[in-house]
Structure 1
Amino acid sequence: MALDGGLAAAVALVLGRAGLLAGPLDRLLLAGPWRRTTGALFYGGFAVSLGVMLTAGAPMSDALRLAIGGVRSELAKTRLQPVLRQARQGVALSEALQAVNGFPATVVRLVSVGESTGALGRMLQRSGKLEEDAAVRDIEAAARLLGPALIVLLGGLIGLMMAGLLSGVTELGQAALN
């Protein structure tokens, strides 16, 4: 059993070094059970960086290009590329972001407010920070639940190992008496 686990870890390491795990891992992160949390981290970071550049006075197309380039997930970058094309064609940023699969709706709403009030950069920064903070809270909550569960699991495994060891010792003693 330990050999199987070691073999699986070695295969995963080789595939990771070869770059063959990046696509499936990206899909798992952005379409799997944690998609809301990981999407908030990826897209929240995108919104913050875009907001900072727009607040500093960068042109929209350059700021979008750089903000998309700063996203660490290739799948998220692919999903955000149409936003750059649509923004160059004159589509409102809130409309373009609304079409992105998995993009947080709260960011889209605050971008719409920012567009109408002339404070797009600040609203992007604020909404991105809110999304990132919510994702961190979700991760912390999961860690608070996972800690005690792992302790119970490890205690159970150690108990099973001790029961097996003591059972073997008892049988050995029985055999010696007979």
Structure 2
Amino acid sequence: MAREYEYRARDIKGQLFTGLVLADDEASAAGHVRNKGLFVTQVREAKSRQDIGVLLRNRRPIKTRDLSIFCRQFATMIESGLPILTCLNVLAEQTENPRLRDTLKVVYKRVQEGTALAQALKEVPGVFPDIMVSMVAAGELGGVLEVVMQRLAIHFEKEHRLNEKVKAAMTYPIVVMSMAVAVVIFVLTFVLPTFIGIFQTMNVELPLLTRWLVAVSGFLTRYWLPLLAFVIAAFWGIRHALQFPGPRAARDRFVLRMPVFGLLTRKIAVARFTRTLASLIRGGVPLLAALEVVKNATGNVIIAAALSDSRESLIEGSDLSSRLGASKIFPPMVVQMVSVGEEAGELDKMLDKVADFYEEDAEDIVSRLSSLLEPFLLGFLGLTIGAIIIAIMLPMFDVITNLNRVM
């Protein structure tokens, strides 16, 4: 693959020329410049502005679905006997995700320069998850990269499937609530003031419900800009605060204590933890290193802290199950299954069974939660709009009565 080289050269009169040339190496680049009738004084590889741009632009992780497809295709190509560089080059050209395509070009260049694949993935900040870097490193060391890539593909497929089911179940309530808020704001700020003008012209005495809505409408109409600024500032402030350990821990602790969502969050976190740890162990990553990676996969800092404590206990000679049980965060079933897996020497298989159970359990909770929320949200939306209609119609009856008296 040709690279870009910067050159400095002079002609027979001593005039300086600088520019860029594409070549396979420095010698070829110098040859291209000499063919122009110039005397080369310096040739060096150009600083890749594209690489820097990619690293800055691609700080968000790649979606699990795209990672799954990439790992599956990579494994197939490796099994077919293709070199790693060829695999990366082909996948970089054919992938549909522009961020992944740009990132793979950077990874290709690093590997071409002699960097190991795992290290090249790690050097692209915030794009590839730690589990992928660790398992690829183990696969390179053991010479089973294609097997590791197949396992990663399965892991990301299952994670994507769980995430999509949770998102699908939560989308409907969010859409309904957003529509309810939008309708209420529209009616209070645009529709109701028109009717209020009519009521005031007719000297109609407004009912309590209507007066309350008029007050809310007036408040929204007068102070919509400060309110909008407050909402934006509050959103930004909360998002910024959650970057710090203290507020993030308080949020995660509160979520775990919530009646229904806390249970769902715990089950999803356990499923992710056990699935990721099983994949790492099966991929040849040592348990201590695997725990260091997996603590960031749960999405909850309280659970991550418990896993960090478990890792420290392992260093001191304890077993994993006893420390997980002492944390009081993981359900007894998880602790028992881990204990059996440790005793039988089949920890990865037991962790997979736990992950399967909790993924199915989480999906069941999500389905039931969606079924329960649907009638509640529809009822809430109907009551809200109905109350507004009643508040407008009650004075309208008085207006009609007054008109009948006049006629």
Instruction: State whether TM-score is above 0.5.
Output: yes
Alpha-carbon distance in 2 for matches of 1:150, 1:36 = 21
Task: Name stretches of at least 5 consecutive residues in structure 1 with no aligned partner.
Answer: none
TM-score (normalizing by structure 1)? 0.88
Of the candidates 1, 14, 29, which is equivalent to residue 236 of structure 2?
14
SS of 1:57's partner is coil
Q: Which amino acid aligns with 1:30?
A: L
> CA deviation digits over 1:49-104, x for unaligned, max 9?
11111122211111111111323222221222110001112211111111123212
From the superposition, tell whether residues 28 and 11 of structure 1 become closer, same or farther in structure 2 (CA, over 3 Å).
farther
C-alpha displacement of 1:11? 4.7
Answer whether contact 1:98 1:105 (CA < 8 A) is retained. Answer: yes
C-alpha displacement of 1:106? 1.5
From the superposition, tell whether residues 52 and 16 of structure 1 become closer, same or farther in structure 2 (CA, over 3 Å).
same
Aligned residues: 178
> CA deviation digits over 1:84-137, x for unaligned, max 9?
001112211111111123212221111111112211011112202311221221
RMSD of the TM alignment (CA)? 2.2
In the alignment, what sits opposite 1:171?
398
Alpha-carbon distance in 2 for matches of 1:175, 1:23 = 62
From the superposition, tell whether residues 146 and 71 of structure 1 become closer, same or farther in structure 2 (CA, over 3 Å).
same
Of the candidates 108, 121, 136, which is equivalent to residue 348 of structure 2?
121
In the alignment, what sits opposite 1:155?
382
From the superposition, tell whether residues 175 and 11 of structure 1 become closer, same or farther in structure 2 (CA, over 3 Å).
farther
TM-score (normalizing by structure 2)? 0.41
In the alignment, what sits opposite 2:369?
142
> CA deviation digits over 1:119-175, x for unaligned, max 9?
101111220231122122112101101001111111111211111111121122223
Task: Name stretches of at least 5 consecutive residues in structure 2 with no aligned partner.
Answer: 1-215
SS of 1:69's partner is coil
From the superposition, tell whether residues 142 and 67 of structure 1 become closer, same or farther in structure 2 (CA, over 3 Å).
same
Q: Percent identity?
A: 24
Once the two structures are superposed, the pairs formed by residues 93-112 of structure 1 within 5 Å of their partners are 93-112=320-339
SS of 2:295's partner is helix
Which protein is bigger by CA-based radius of gyration?
A: 2
> CA deviation digits over 1:7-60, x for unaligned, max 9?
774354122331346343212212222322211111221111111111222111
Answer whether contact 1:29 1:38 (CA < 8 A) is retained. Answer: yes
Alpha-carbon distance in 2 for matches of 1:79, 1:35 = 17
Of the candidates 20, 28, 52, which is equivalent to residue 254 of structure 2?
28
Alpha-carbon distance in 2 for matches of 1:79, 1:97 = 7
Answer whether contact 1:45 1:129 (CA < 8 A) is retained. Answer: no
Per residue, is there more helix in 1 or in 2? Answer: 1
From the superposition, tell whether residues 32 and 7 of structure 1 become closer, same or farther in structure 2 (CA, over 3 Å).
farther
- Aligned structure 1 segments of 4 or more residues deviating by more than 3 angstroms: 1-12, 20-24
Answer whether contact 2:291 2:308 (CA < 8 A) is retained. Answer: no
Answer whether contact 1:47 1:127 (CA < 8 A) is retained. Answer: yes
Alpha-carbon distance in 1 for matches of 2:232, 2:337 = 46
